[in-house]
Amino acid sequence: MARVVQRRTPPYLLIVFVILFVFATVMAVLFFNKYNGVQKRYAQTLLLRKQLANNEQLKQPEIRQMVNQYKKSTVAGIPTTVVAQLRSQIFEMTNAITGMPNISYLEAKQEVARTFKAINPPVQRGLVKHMMDFHEQLGVKDAEIAKLKGERTQSTTQLGAANQALTAAKDGFAAKLKEKDEQTAALDQKFQNLEAENKKELAKAKEEYDASAAAAKGLTAEQANKTKAVEEEARKWEKKYKKEVGKKIRPAVDTSRTVRKPDGKVIRVLADDNLVYINIGSKSRVTEDLRLTVYPYTGIPDSGAGKAVIQVTNIRENVSECRILEQKKDNPILPGDLVANLVFDALRTYSFVVEGRFDLEGTGAPTMAGNKAIQGLVRRYGGRLLKEVSVDCDYVILGDSPARPQKPDDTDPQDAWSLFEERQKAYNRYMDVARKAEGMQIPRLGGKRFLDLIGYIPTKVAKSE
């Protein structure tokens, strides 16, 4: 018979109990260690808080604000550490400085470095300070721009006013130009009328001349023979004088008649306009600014003094318009009056010799400057100047004679003798010119008579008090 073996039940409860005991022991050890660590940290925290309580930096508003923020967040269950707050502040500052959110501190620092390099300030004082400086400079520039805009507006206004004034001036000029054209047209018509009248007078004069020529042809043979005999006698005297003088002389002339020869006459007078018209023009070699002395129709007196002086302003072929420069109130210019200028001639150029000193301004002191002025007047009116008296000379104008110098003593210095010789030479030349003019029957004119014959008006000299 089989042996029945009885099996024992394992001690499960004991095993479980042992396991739980071991687990409890381990947990107790772990808790004890953790408790010790917490106690240490708590002690460190108390020490840190004590140290921080004595730290002046914790009293600063921003630190206290960060601590309060941390406490509030701890109560809410999600503490915001100081580091997190600092990082948040760094992001805010980098965003405010660079304008780029979520940028790191290093990237922001590099951006700041690039900005400083771009603006290149003489002294680095911080971006905010530089921005304030730039803002201030920008304000100054804005003020300058505003000022320039105001000046531009003012200039534009002035330019508009100037353009309006220019337009008005152009319109005024156009009106004056039109008026001048109308006056010119009227003047041309006036000249045409005067030329027509002048042609009629010329035709009439030609008829009178033809009649006179026909009458002259009717002279008797006896008168012709007498004339021939007189001419023969004149030739004999000419040969005799030539033989005595030793050179060719000019035929005898009536010097008074030559000097008193008129150049034209007045054909119309416009007293209200201070104008006269004469019967000579460009065909007679009249030039603008030519001055003419006006004489009565009866002729030119020996003195050469006239009743008025006129000056040519406009010239046509046979008529010239003249402005009245001077006339006597009790003896006005009338149509038919004669006009003359000794230097001017329609057919030829006269030659002159000017010698001596002249007083053109009535100062009572003749000078050599007056001599130069007389020569200038001769040239001005178309005359020719000669250095010596010859058969080609038409007129001699004599001023005051230089004083005959007194001969110095032999003991006087060389300068006195040089001055004597110079003055003696001038005196001898004056006397030689006068003698030659008289011997060759060349008309001689004094300074005053010459000036009267060319219509010269002396400048008024103020009398000294």
Task: Retrieve residue 365's tokens.
Answer: 């002191």
Cα angle value 241/246/252 (rounded, 5°): 35
Task: Retrieve residue 153's tokens.
Answer: 């507006």
Of 127 and 312, the structure prediction assigns the larger pLDDT to 312
Kindly state the helix (H) or strand (E) to which residue 172 belongs, with its residue range: helix 127-217
Distance CA 356, CA 243 (A): 30
- Res 75: pLDDT: 62
pLDDT for residue 4 is more than 60: no
- Domain edges within the chain: 348-465
pLDDT digits (tens, 9 = 90+) for 393-440: 999 999 998 888 888 888 888 888 888 889 899 999 999 999 999 999
Of 80 and 321, the structure prediction assigns the larger pLDDT to 321
- Res 184: pLDDT: 79
Query: Which whole number is the average pLDDT over 73-88?
Result: 68
- Res 388: pLDDT: 93
- Res 251: pLDDT: 43
Of 229 and 330, the structure prediction assigns the larger pLDDT to 330
3-class state of residue 445 by DSSP: strand
Which among 12-16, 23-27, 90-94 has the top mean pLDDT?
23-27
Q: What percent of the chain has pLDDT over 70?
A: 78
- In order of 73, 275, 276, 324, 430, the CA distances from 272 in angstroms are 116, 8, 10, 11, 48
- Res 247: pLDDT: 46
pLDDT digits (tens, 9 = 90+) for 278-325: 999 999 999 998 999 999 988 888 888 899 999 999 999 999 999 999
Sheet of 351-355, strand order: 384-385, 351-355, 395-398, 444-446
In the DSSP assignment, the letter for residue 283 is G
Report the mean per-residue pLDDT for the chain: 80
Of 104 and 388, the structure prediction assigns the larger pLDDT to 388
Q: Are strands 264-270 and 275-278 parallel, antiparallel or unpaired?
A: antiparallel
Confidence of residue 326 (pLDDT cuts 50, 70, 90): very high
- Res 364: pLDDT: 83
pLDDT digits (tens, 9 = 90+) for 238-268: 566 555 544 444 444 444 555 778 899 999 9
- Res 309: pLDDT: 95
> Burial level of 434, CB count in 10 A (0-12/13-18/19+)?
middle
Distance CA 459, CA 10 (A): 168
Q: What percent of the chain has pLDDT over 90?
A: 27
Give the CATH fold of the 348-465 domain. Rossmann fold (3.40.50)
Distance CA 291, CA 310 (A): 6
- Res 2: pLDDT: 55
Query: Which whole number is the average pLDDT over 369-391?
Result: 93
Of 411 and 131, the structure prediction assigns the larger pLDDT to 411
- Res 341: pLDDT: 92
pLDDT for residue 48 is more than 90: no
pLDDT for residue 8 is more than 90: no
pTM reported for the whole predicted model? 0.47
- Judge whether 377 and 456 are in contact, CB under 8 Å: yes
Closest alpha carbon to 292 in 258, 343, 365, 362: 343
Give the CB-side neighbour count of residue 363, counting CA atoms within 13 A.
14
pLDDT for residue 356 is more than 90: yes
Distance CA 280, CA 43 (A): 140
